[in-house]
Structure 1
Amino acid sequence: MKNYPVASRRAWIIRHAMTLGTVAIIVVYAAFIQWVWGWQGIVSLWNGAGWTSALIALALLLCTYVLRTWRIYDYFPKETGGHFGTLLRLVQVHNLLNVMLPFRTGEASFPLLMKREFGLPLARGTSALFVMRLFDLHALLAAAGTGFALETGKAWTWGLWLLFLILPAAAFAIRKPVFRLAAKFLPSRAEKLVEEVEAGLPFDAWAFARAWGATLINWFTKIAVLAWVLGLLGDLPIAAGFGGALGGELSSVLPVHAPAGVGTYPAGITAGALAFGADAGREALEELGRAAVNTHLLVIVSSLVGTALSLFAARPKKTG
């Protein structure tokens, strides 16, 4: 005879294994912070920087979520028109899943959610997400490069930065011959990928300009806020602050992302700050570690607060 309560319990554990694993890792992370620095030592950094600064940073990060939603709203005007609140909630849920789930597994939720809420075909949602992620990666690197250019203050660094900044515009301008060339020389198995990338691009130059501009503003704001926070809490120079922000965000963009960014996000901040000239002395590293953990916590809190606020934005749209 089967033991149904035990079987039901096992099935529940299997269904929620990833969530339970994420919660367990967060608990271990909290214990690790307490053991290494102590939560009082972590939170006390804001006493010196000022809690008003923390609220300003949180508000600016929340604004980036609204801008990110507008980009998708403008990307799919027919499907999402008149339902900005529903889309805001969708974007926040997608963002929270990306933050909490490991190895970018949360990305899969975007095309699924877009199909459920707005009836968008999975192929189009996936291809558009891929293109938007390319925009994001470029804007992230361009935003971080601003700190390096500001630190050096030399004309050649600004020149290189400007050339890198306009790469997407140049690529969009020559997209048609590039896609034709790719279809001609790439193996047949890659043709489908090329078609999906082309289908995910904005419809015309004006739509591209809006999507590209929104992406740049979004990432420049986020990287600047994180660099500012790192400078406040870790006493970092401009370049190191931007490098730390870049390192943290790259750790979440690339497929090496631990659940909730536990360990990987602060490590990315530390590596990026050191690569951009932060002091590698023992005391400076300890201060940088505390600042990195605080910055990571700010990102998590902003995701949780943004998701909670978006729940009041609108009722989900029901599709046929």
Structure 2
Amino acid sequence: MKSPVVASRQSWCARNRMMLLTVAIVGAYAFFIQWFWGWSSILEEWAHVGVLPIVAALLLLTSTYFLRTWRIYDYFPRETSGRFRALFRVTQVHNLLNIMLPFRTGETSFPVLMRTEFGIPIARGTSALFVMRLLDLHALLAAAGIGFAAASQNRVLAWAIWTVFLLLPVAAFATRKSLLRIATRLLPAKAQEIVAEIENGLPSNAPAFARAWAMTVINWLVKVLVLAWSLRLMGVFPISASFGGALGGELSSVLPVHAPGGVGTYPAGITAGAVAFGASGEASALATLAQASINAHLLIIVSALTGTAISLPFGRRQL
């Protein structure tokens, strides 16, 4: 039989496990940065940028987490009604796990947390997450397509292809019932309940879909513009390269290949995107770009930890 002291310690750890996980992640990441680059070089770059721009960038990035929460709140209005704060905590836990765990394994936490906190079936939560991730990826690729279309020699054809791509979510939503009916016919009877849950996980009507799509676009627009601005302040030229770097970093975060914490993959995505959008290939420019990509990645980590810290007092139900 456990002593009261041991039981009390275990209970405290259970209640504060996300805070402990956050502290452990901060410590591990701080050690990694010191070991690989050295905090002196990082802080020197941040001091050059200035406190006010950094604080403004953090506030704007953190604000996108509230918008993401609102998108889910609007997606499940009946189940989450009146519990925005609890939902914000769930989304921040999911976001932190998604950033820190490799190969998108953190995504699995979303349907589990939604079932635990709001009683939403796993299949429905997974379906909703899949749709939202498709919208996320589409928004980022559409944004990247603007740069490529503008730089194309055959702009008429390029913009026509971009327009068709932009409207793909509308076509997919319009034909969703036909696609689900085909899936119901092809799948065995035991799997038809899953198809029904998948349908429940989709936006219920056109206005709901339009709101989800609009909030997705606004969320990524704010995030990419803030990152592009931050990269520009850190010496990434021209502005198109800053924009491409921001897109490349965020694309690396939504694709399946994702290192723990985005270490390596996120800065690599920024570098690849910046080079693709016109960054100089000279040694000095690439060195500046590498340093800026590390600092931008650190900015993303700090914003995620800030959002998690804000959410910790919310919704003290066991997750």
Name the TM tier (shorter chain): 0.7 to 0.9
Q: After superposition, where does 1:50-89 map in structure 2 within 5 Å?
A: 50-89=50-89
Contact 1:124/1:196, CA 8 A, preserved across alignment: yes
In the other structure, the counterpart of 2:34 is 30
Partner of 2:234, secondary structure, is helix
In the other structure, the counterpart of 2:141 is 141
Normalised TM-score (structure 2): 0.83
Q: After superposition, where does 1:26-175 map in structure 2 within 5 Å?
A: 27-34=31-38, 39-148=39-148, 157-175=158-176
Q: CA deviation at 1:267?
A: 1.1
1:55-82 per-residue CA deviation (whole Å, 9 max, x = no partner) reads: 1111111111000000100111111100
Further displaced range: 187-196 or 162-171: 187-196
Q: CA deviation at 1:136?
A: 1.1
Normalised TM-score (structure 1): 0.82
Contact 1:102/1:257, CA 8 A, preserved across alignment: yes
Further displaced range: 188-197 or 111-120: 188-197
Q: After superposition, where does 1:151-300 map in structure 2 within 5 Å?
A: 157-183=158-184, 197-300=198-301
1:265-287 per-residue CA deviation (whole Å, 9 max, x = no partner) reads: 11111112112221111101000
Contact 1:143/1:223, CA 8 A, preserved across alignment: no
1:34-90 per-residue CA deviation (whole Å, 9 max, x = no partner) reads: 2xxxx3333333344332211111111111100000010011111110010111111
Contact 1:148/1:242, CA 8 A, preserved across alignment: no
Q: Distance in 2 between matches of 1:22 and 1:305?
A: 11
Compared CA separation, residues 57 and 278, structure 1 to 2 (3 A) = same
Q: Distance in 2 between matches of 1:238 and 1:309?
A: 32
1:133-164 per-residue CA deviation (whole Å, 9 max, x = no partner) reads: 11111112123334445667956554443332
Q: CA deviation at 1:198?
A: 3.1
Compared CA separation, residues 48 and 130, structure 1 to 2 (3 A) = same
Contact 1:22/1:259, CA 8 A, preserved across alignment: no
Compared CA separation, residues 192 and 147, structure 1 to 2 (3 A) = farther
Partner of 2:37, secondary structure, is helix
1:91 maps to a residue whose letter is T
Compared CA separation, residues 262 and 214, structure 1 to 2 (3 A) = same
1:142 maps to a residue whose letter is A
In the other structure, the counterpart of 1:6 is none
Q: Distance in 2 between matches of 1:146 and 1:243?
A: 11
Contact 1:144/1:223, CA 8 A, preserved across alignment: no
Unmatched segments (≥5 aa) in structure 1: 1-17
Q: Distance in 1 between matches of 2:139 and 2:285?
A: 29
Further displaced range: 79-88 or 104-113: 104-113
2:54 maps to a residue whose letter is A
Further displaced range: 232-241 or 144-153: 144-153
Q: CA deviation at 1:23?
A: 5.9
Contact 1:247/1:272, CA 8 A, preserved across alignment: yes
